[in-house]
Amino acid sequence: MASPQDLEKADRADAVTLLPEEADAEDSLRGEPQPPKRLHVFPILLAALTICFLVGQLTPSACWSRQALATSTVPPLTSQTKGDIDIHRHREEDIHVPVAHAVQSRDLDTDIIPFATSTSSAPAPSRTVLKCFEVDQPVLLPGGAAESDGSGLLGGSGPGYEEGKDGSCTVLLMRRDFAWSYEDPFIGNYTPPNCKFNRVVLNFTSVSHGRQYDRLAIMYIGDTEVWRTSTAQPVTPPGIVWTYMKDMTQYLAFWKQPQKIIFDLGNLVNDKYTGIFNTTMTATFFWSDVPTDTAPASDVIIPISARQSAKNAISQFTLPRDNASNTVTFPTNARRAVFSVSANGQASEEFWWSNVLQSDIYTFNATAGQLTGYSPFREVQVLIDGQLAGVSWPFPVIFTGGVSPGLHRPIVSVEAFDLREKEIDITPFLPLLSDGKPHTFSIRIAGLDDSLTPLKAKLTDAVPENWYVTGKIFVWLSDSPVATTGAPPTLSLSPPTIDLTHAIGTAADGNNNSLTYTVSVKRTLSIAGTVNTGGTTSSTTWSQTLSYSNTGILTEYGFNALNDLVTAGTDESKGPGAFKVSYSYPLLANSTYSVTPQGNLSIWAHVKQGKSFSVTGASVYPDGLEAFGGSSRFTGSSLVTTKEGVAAFWQSGDGYNASGWGTAEQVFRFGGTSKGGVLGDVGDVELYWRNVSAVNGSVVWDFKRGWKEGGRVQVEGGDGRADLSVEEEFLAVEGTGMGVGALRAFVGRGGLES
């Protein structure tokens, strides 16, 4: 983690260099000038944009412009109480380019800001605030299903609640302007509201303008992490705004009591990085009788963290630096327990999925430099008294400065605003944990090491920096005070199956010019036990089946990179509190990185990312069905989404002038498995569907439809699908789509202005 002094020193640096694979593109633009690199020709979309310039008689800045940041005004900081928000960590990520591992540079504290400025002789057009959003399923509010981006009720209008009229109440949890907030989190006190509630939904809204990195943010209640999110990247005035609404009902054990709220959003503001995040967070409390199959709120929540809230500090562990362990004494009458783990890579490990085999890190030492190693595979391990209890194979989240910023405006990447945690059922361990003695819970990050014998890898915790991790244990207690007993769990934990290949190509000049590698990992585990609690004996089993494959290709002496990967798995708990989760995370990332002797940077990128996630049974976290009638109509939920985009970025060697373009489209479907349905985990009733596309920060079409009981079939916006006949009736919520002709007219009249 960089110190404020190091960051200030980096900000004064003028030279630009390519950054290492693990560092972000923005981080890389400091250091010694590099030898000339080949300038790559961008694909067809760039040619199309060039036609826009010529046919439309537009300047490049008219298709995408950024005003000079030096002339922008930094909004004043508002007065803050001592209890205001703040965040600890500084993420040096503005543009993040995984192909940059090809570049030799180890200064992870260097910074650049993308889309910072653009000079042009043309007058700046009139601008409006850019609304950024993550496409996600609706959440339940007192008024019904509401869009998670804060745009209102599904198929209706208004915020979804009327305090004092529907029995709900809303509490302001935080109001804070995050300026210099590095290692300075918001601290506030929460008092339960004076209304009846069994559901809680957060509303987090932020505005910003200027230039700034994307930032990671973590919310704690005391020592327990309860939400991990990140920011959108601001633009020049009037800037950006985004809202994300999150169901926090699983933390009712906290919301019923006074608490300390800690919100960490580490930011840095100076004459170059001017973006301040003006944030507001509220919580709406209300009562709903909607039935759900998900688990009721637990009785106890035990944090597995650095436990620093008493010092008004953050409680994350940073791996591999820290020992991410807590020794705790468990309740003696527990009947069920689930461990939830939160983990994501930063700095050198933000693009862990694009790393190379440890035996290949010096492949381009003579040209691009040392690569980041220990393979593109990571495993998050949860251990109890040193014994493996379950694993998480992480989702490859891409933040809003990742790869190329134009990919994420205004549609941010999957999970960028809500990094989902992993549930591991540890109920089979209860006979051991309920003995009244201390037990140690640990979190580890593992990669693959084939340095001793190439292509013969083993798991290792010697991964690069950094991983931010915390955990928590949800515990449900028996009505009986009698201690829980039973037999020790039976563990079936075979080592993972690992298969590796690689091939290196050599150019006529004697230097290596290409590297192709594949990584395939499979793992199964099963933990079974018998639990006696409250006079009842139950058999319980936790099992996981996981697979991972990644094909990596580096060409042009290490300056072009492509990764095609899929992580998939099924996790299942059998016994009391049974649930099942199936998931698949495909990702295709193709990027080209080039820098001239003067330090001028060019990036081109194509990213296609997907997520498939289905859940049935008593999971800890809401399954999304509560917004659509819950378990009275459905037995499980299914989410399937794909987001694809192409973008390019250019920045001058001094880091003060930048421009770019980008397009992105996302299709999202959320459904429920009806009682008696025949399609299983697929979800045979569509509940919410959205297809949205953006060009250079402007939404060019946005089709939505959602299920509404008693509604009618209605299609607006021309999404090309006329047959919506299903078991339920659907209501087209919104349609702002454009046909091909309208899109051409939009481009022709300068609609590509950002």
Q: Which residues pair with 425 in a beta bridge?
A: 338
Question: Is 57 inside any structural domain?
Answer: no
Bond from prior residue into 159 cis (ω within 30 degrees of 0): no
- Measured in whole angstroms, the distance separating CA 299 from the mean position of its chain's CA atoms is 28
Distance CA 382, CA 389 (A): 6
723 or 248, higher pLDDT: 248
- Whether residue 17 has pLDDT greater than 90: no
Do the Cβ atoms of 418 and 641 come closer than 8 Å? no
* Number of Cβ within a 10 Å radius of residue 290: 15
Rg of the chain taking only CA atoms, in angstroms:
25
The band of 162, judged by pLDDT with boundaries at 50, 70 and 90, is low
State the average pLDDT over residues 399-423: 96
Structure tokens at 438: 């201390």
Domain tally, the chain: 1
Of the ranges 59-73, 84-98, 127-141, 669-683, the best mean pLDDT one: 127-141
Give residue 677's identity as a one-letter amino acid code. G
Hey, is 647 helix, strand or coil?
strand
First to last CA, the chain: 33
Write out the DSSP string of 229-240: EEPPPP-STT-E
State the average pLDDT over residues 393-399: 98
- Give the strand pairing for 224-230 and 485-493: unpaired
- Whether residue 145 has pLDDT greater than 90: yes
Mean pLDDT of the chain: 80
Q: Output the pLDDT for position 633.
A: 81
State the average pLDDT over residues 440-469: 96
The band of 160, judged by pLDDT with boundaries at 50, 70 and 90, is low
Tell me phi and psi for residue 97, to 5 degrees: -125, 105
- Whether residue 671 has pLDDT greater than 80: yes
Sign, Cα dihedral of 382, 383, 384, 388: positive
Question: Is 16 inside any structural domain?
Answer: yes
- Whether residue 675 has pLDDT greater than 70: no
Question: Is 408 inside any structural domain?
Answer: yes
Q: Output the pLDDT for position 240.
A: 97
- Give the strand pairing for 130-132 and 240-247: parallel
638 or 112, higher pLDDT: 638
Tell me phi and psi for residue 408, to 5 degrees: -120, 10
The band of 658, judged by pLDDT with boundaries at 50, 70 and 90, is confident
- Give the angle 444-619-377 at the CA atoms, nearest 5°: 30
Contacting residues for 711 by C-beta, under 8 A, at least 6 apart: 155, 729, 730, 731
Comparing CA positions, the residue from 590, 229, 601 lying closest to residue 413 is 229
Comparing CA positions, the residue from 299, 301, 302 lying closest to residue 335 is 299
Distances, alpha carbon 638 to alpha carbons 140, 292, 682, in Å: 17, 15, 6
Structure tokens at 121: 């002789």
Structure tokens at 743: 């899109």
Tell me phi and psi for residue 340, to 5 degrees: -115, 130
Question: Is 75 inside any structural domain?
Answer: no
Determine what percent of the chain is predicted with pLDDT higher than 90. 67
Q: Output the pLDDT for position 682.
A: 46
The b/e string for 708-744 (b: 16+ C-beta within 10 A; e otherwise) is: beeeeeebebebeeeebeeebebbbbbbebbeeeebe
Distance CA 738, CA 4 (A): 47
Of 19-28, 270-279, 365-374, the least confident:
19-28
Question: Is 480 inside any structural domain?
Answer: yes
Distance CA 212, CA 432 (A): 49
How buried is 437 (Cβ within 10 angstroms: 0-12 exposed, 13-18 middle, 19+ buried)? exposed
Give the global pTM: 0.82
Of 496-510, 549-563, 733-747, the least confident:
733-747
Question: Is 28 inside any structural domain?
Answer: yes
The band of 637, judged by pLDDT with boundaries at 50, 70 and 90, is very high
State the average pLDDT over residues 471-486: 96
Hey, is 740 helix, strand or coil?
helix
Distance CA 230, CA 113 (A): 17
Hey, is 407 helix, strand or coil?
helix
Span 52-84, pLDDT tens digits: 433 333 333 333 333 222 222 223 323 233 233
Comparing CA positions, the residue from 219, 601, 248 lying closest to residue 404 is 601
Q: Which domain holds residue 23?
A: 4-52+81-748
Q: Output the pLDDT for position 676.
A: 59
Question: Is 754 inside any structural domain?
Answer: no
- Give the strand pairing for 20-21 and 101-102: antiparallel
DSSP summary character for residue 619: -
Q: Output the pLDDT for position 156.
A: 65
The band of 684, judged by pLDDT with boundaries at 50, 70 and 90, is confident
State the average pLDDT over residues 87-115: 33
Span 171-195, pLDDT tens digits: 999 999 999 999 999 999 999 999 9
Hey, is 430 helix, strand or coil?
helix
Question: Is 533 inside any structural domain?
Answer: yes
